[in-house]
Amino acid sequence: MFSTLLPAWASLIITLLLCTTAFAANNATCSSNATRLRLSDPPYENYFYSDCHSSSHVVVTSPLSSSNLSIIGPRLLVAWPAGNSGIVSFFKPDNGENGTLGIRLENSTATKEALEPVYDFNQTQSKSPRVGVSGVISFNSSAISTVTILGSIRTIRDFTEGPSIIYPSVQKAIKISEIADGGASFERTWFDNVTTTYLSFAPVNGSDAITINRGDNVTLSFGAGTYQFNASFDYPQLEQLSPQEVLSNVSTGLIEQNPDQSTSLSFLSYTDKLLAGTWRFLTYFGRDSMISLLLLQPILSEGEGGAIEAVIGAVLERINRTDGSVCHEENIGDYATFLNLQNNITSTAPQCDYKMVDTDYFLPIIMRNYFVETETGLNRSSAFFNKTASFLANNTDLTYGELAQITAVKIMNTSAPFASEGGQRKENLIHLKEGQVVGQWRDSEFGIGGGRIPYDVNTALVPAALRSIAALSRSGFFPDHPEWNKTAEEYADVWEDETLRFFEVNVPQSTAKSLVESYINESSSYSGPPNTEEIIDDVTFYGIALDGNNNQSIVRVINTDDCFRHFLLNTTNQTQLSSFLNQTADHILKPFPVGLSTSLGLFVANPAFGGDPIYAKNFTNADYHGTVVWSWQLAMMAAGLSHQLGRCEATDVPDFCNDRSFYMKVLSAYNHLWSLIDNNSAQLSGEVWSWIYNDGFQVEPLGAFTPTESDIRQLWSLTFLAVHRENFKI
């Protein structure tokens, strides 16, 4: 081919000209400089690029010598927030020796950057500009591109996270062609017959021309060397909030203090929604955005066009008007059209997933916190709630106020049976929806041990939502139901005081020691000490759910979900509050497997007291909600304990504050938690991390054990921008 006849320096100049031209054309139309960020999490290298045209996240996966090669292989992935879209191309070594192929991005010698923008707007060909990124990828040996998927991140996730699901209708639409200078391109028009995704590779620096191997499965052959890739698509883009726009005026100092986190927050923030995480969850998730708002509110921008109203508006837009359910996850872009076609509907209309039971309850809480508790919210209330919905076709005749009331009606109706006289029975608690195995934040197959009645929803979220509905009613919301100002408060009293007992587990001291020893024998991942000398009394905790696997009445897993009650409630039942705080402090202070504490942070689950081998099997360091650490749970636990300790400095002081030894125990737990947080600052912005045990706990990416990777940046994992250690009196 022609490119192989050029000297290396000439090929390099051509590449630099292509990149520089794209860069210059882009800057000519953008009033501000591009934003770039590189984050290393071996075997994953992450590159972020944003400008006024588009945002991109590129992930290059190159296995380490210690990597599990059955689930980790060389891969180039590009994720775009617009349409939750993306590209992935998997590679294998041409010599067939798994683990020998290494790939990486090379920095441009002209710009010293790994990525440059792609921008091309030809109105005769497309209604939207063609945008994306380009770069140079290096192979240490000859390679074969095996599977390439273009279109939707959801399609990519379906392939990477399970039994390698691949959709023939997606793959058959890909056109593979030779291009000039020994290159090759992939091109796929979406199911909407309008949008197209493009991926091309071309040899540079004298590398071999690419060979297209046609057959049942078309592959590409690359030589050792470097190749320019271009990844782009022509789909309408989102309007990103800059770091200055997503943060409040008094918080813009965080941009210099925490450039990584503030840039990451901006990458996930747009004028009409905040996105859950990247690359796997690069779209709207209701629970994630509302929990993030609860923790980040002190630093987020208020008012029209601000981050707070973007979150609340996005939630209201997606409410199911039929029953008031709040949307968990939206399906948009190519994946939405694909799902519609499965139902014989030709439409690009978005869809919403309403299977979760926890998400509804966060809505009135965030509404109260902003529209009742802040001056800006009070002033914005009328204009905001008079807006008419536009995202879902079914909601376009409803205002935000009407949609909010529909959800409040659902909460009042579903909480009434338990709150009624004599209604405090298990059957009146909130259950998962029929036919669903998930329903709250621990939404993996065994996240709550097969339970049907989740702990966090019933003991914290329901009463907190009811308190908020009462407060909103007192402030003039829900005019059709003025009685809620009292009724919701009365319901909240019952739910707050009467639900904990259903989940309480008490294990005698001797039995507890035996259970921990048995757990270690059953666990294949933990080989450390049992720490049973820390069990100096009976063990008390609140199970993660009711009605679990193997006919368990309570799923006997110590967990971090205590944080919801600490953060969201001001319990006035003093005996209950003291008892609840005491067991939380114990679990924070005591080392795993007796408690939750490890050098890596608090595990979100400790199954050691289960008394059944199924616990050791289903809650491991390879499980998404097993013996692993989640950043946002650390943040909410810290914020929750801070809230309870802060009550000791208020006018209505809880009893525990006046018991010095008890107060010091809670304070010690708080400070110990913060020591763990500070010692793991390198992980805090990621979604979840796991471990290996080798004379101590060592951080290991969750993706080292399972195809379910951890996002390098997760919205609710950026909450330490707002959550800080407080200095409480001793």
Q: What is the mean pLDDT of residues 458-472?
A: 98
Query: Over the stretch 219-257, which tens digit does the pLDDT of each residue have?
Result: 999 999 999 999 999 999 999 999 999 999 999 999 999
Give me 690's structure tokens. 């796991």
Give me 514's structure tokens. 């035996």
- At position 188, the amino acid (one-letter code) is R
Cα distance between residue 407 and residue 361, in whole Å: 9
Say whether pLDDT at 123 is over 80. Answer: no
Cα distance between residue 616 and residue 613, in whole Å: 5
- At position 27, the amino acid (one-letter code) is N
- Nearest to 237, CA basis, from 29, 80, 23: 80
Residue 329 phi/psi, 5-degree rounding, is -140, 140
Express as a percent the part of the chain with pLDDT over 90: 91
Cα distance between residue 522 and residue 166, in whole Å: 36
Give me 79's structure tokens. 């994720």
pLDDT at 2: 29
Q: What is the mean pLDDT of residues 614-638?
A: 97
Q: What is the mean pLDDT of residues 438-449?
A: 97
Cα-based angle 44, 50, 52 (whole degrees, multiple of 5)? 165
| Cβ–Cβ under 8 Å, residues 526 and 693 | yes
Residue 92 phi/psi, 5-degree rounding, is -140, 155
Burial of 77: CB neighbours in 10 Å, binned 0-12, 13-18, 19+:
buried
Residue 138 phi/psi, 5-degree rounding, is -115, 135
Give me 367's structure tokens. 């509404």
Alpha helix (H) residue ranges in 599-659: 613-618, 631-646
Q: What is the mean pLDDT of residues 675-694?
A: 97
Contacts of residue 90, defined as CB under 8 A and 6 or more positions apart, other chains included, come to 73, 74, 75, 145, 146, 147, 148
Query: Over the stretch 331-384, which tens digit does the pLDDT of each residue have?
Result: 999 999 999 999 999 999 999 999 999 999 999 999 999 999 999 999 999 999
Query: Over the stretch 222-232, which tens digit does the pLDDT of each residue have?
Result: 999 999 999 99
Half-sphere exposure of 200 (CA within 13 A, CB side): 20
pLDDT at 440: 98
Question: Binning pLDDT at 50, 70 and 90, where does residue 110 land?
Answer: confident
Give me 605's structure tokens. 């689950």
Task: Decide the pairing of beta strands 196-204 and 130-139.
Answer: unpaired
Question: Binning pLDDT at 50, 70 and 90, where does residue 576 land?
Answer: very high
Say whether pLDDT at 400 is over 70. Answer: yes
Cα distance between residue 14 and residue 287, in whole Å: 48
Alpha helix (H) residue ranges in 372-399: 375-385
Query: Over the stretch 469-510, which tens digit does the pLDDT of each residue have?
Result: 999 999 999 999 999 999 999 999 999 999 999 999 999 999
Cα distance between residue 570 and residue 564, in whole Å: 11
Cis peptide preceding 259, ω within 30 of 0: no
DSSP 252-295: TTHHHH-HHHHHHHHHTEETTEE--EESTT-S-BHHHHHHHHHH
Alpha helix (H) residue ranges in 396-536: 400-419, 455-456, 462-474, 484-498, 500-503, 509-522
Within a 10 A sphere around the Cβ of 582, how many other Cβ atoms?
A: 15
Say whether pLDDT at 100 is over 90. Answer: yes
Helix, strand, or coil here: 206?
coil
| Cβ–Cβ under 8 Å, residues 631 and 714 | yes
| Cβ–Cβ under 8 Å, residues 689 and 701 | yes
Q: What is the mean pLDDT of residues 292-297?
A: 98
Q: Where are the beta strands (DSSP E) in 512-612?
A: 539-542, 545-548, 552-555, 558-559, 597-598, 601-602, 605-606
Express as a percent the part of the chain with pLDDT over 70: 96
Within a 10 A sphere around the Cβ of 498, how many other Cβ atoms?
A: 19
**568 to each of 122, 467, 490, 523, how far by Cα in Å?**
52, 10, 17, 35
- At position 242, the amino acid (one-letter code) is S
Say whether pLDDT at 34 is over 90. Answer: yes
- At position 460, the amino acid (one-letter code) is A
Please, which residues bridge with residue 136 across strands?
A: 106, 228
Cα distance between residue 403 and residue 380, in whole Å: 17
Alpha helix (H) residue ranges in 647-699: 660-679
How far is residue 10 CA from its own chain's centroid?
45
Cα distance between residue 489 and residue 369, in whole Å: 17
Q: Which range has the worst mean pLDDT, 22-31, 97-106, 260-269? A: 22-31
Question: Binning pLDDT at 50, 70 and 90, where does residue 689 land?
Answer: very high
Helix, strand, or coil here: 35?
strand
Half-sphere exposure of 115 (CA within 13 A, CB side): 27
> Who wins on pLDDT, 23 or 606?
606
Question: Binning pLDDT at 50, 70 and 90, where does residue 698 land?
Answer: very high
Query: Over the stretch 709-722, which tens digit does the pLDDT of each residue have?
Result: 999 999 999 999 99
Instruction: Put the strands of the sheet holding 697-700 in their side by side order.
Output: 629-630, 688-693, 697-700
Say whether pLDDT at 12 is over 70. Answer: no
Query: Angle, to 10 degrees, between the axis of helix 462-474 and the axis of helix 400-419?
Result: 130
Say whether pLDDT at 25 is over 80. Answer: no
Cα distance between residue 166 and residue 147, in whole Å: 10
The H or E element containing residue 453 is strand 453-454
Cα distance between residue 363 and residue 465, in whole Å: 8
Cα distance between residue 465 and residue 554, in whole Å: 24
Helix, strand, or coil here: 444?
coil
pLDDT at 124: 66
Question: Binning pLDDT at 50, 70 and 90, where does residue 217 land?
Answer: confident
Give me 548's structure tokens. 């679990």
- Nearest to 110, CA basis, from 187, 248, 186, 15: 15
Q: What is the mean pLDDT of residues 672-699?
A: 97
Give me 73's structure tokens. 């292989």
Residue-wise over 146-168: b if at least 16 C-beta within 10 A, else e? ebbbbbbbbbbbbbbeeeeeebe
Within a 10 A sphere around the Cβ of 244, how many other Cβ atoms?
A: 14
Residue 48 phi/psi, 5-degree rounding, is -115, 140
Helix, strand, or coil here: 212?
strand
The H or E element containing residue 95 is none
Residue 423 phi/psi, 5-degree rounding, is -90, 5
Mean pLDDT of the chain: 94
Half-sphere exposure of 381 (CA within 13 A, CB side): 19
Say whether pLDDT at 116 is over 60. Answer: yes
Residue 718 phi/psi, 5-degree rounding, is -95, 10
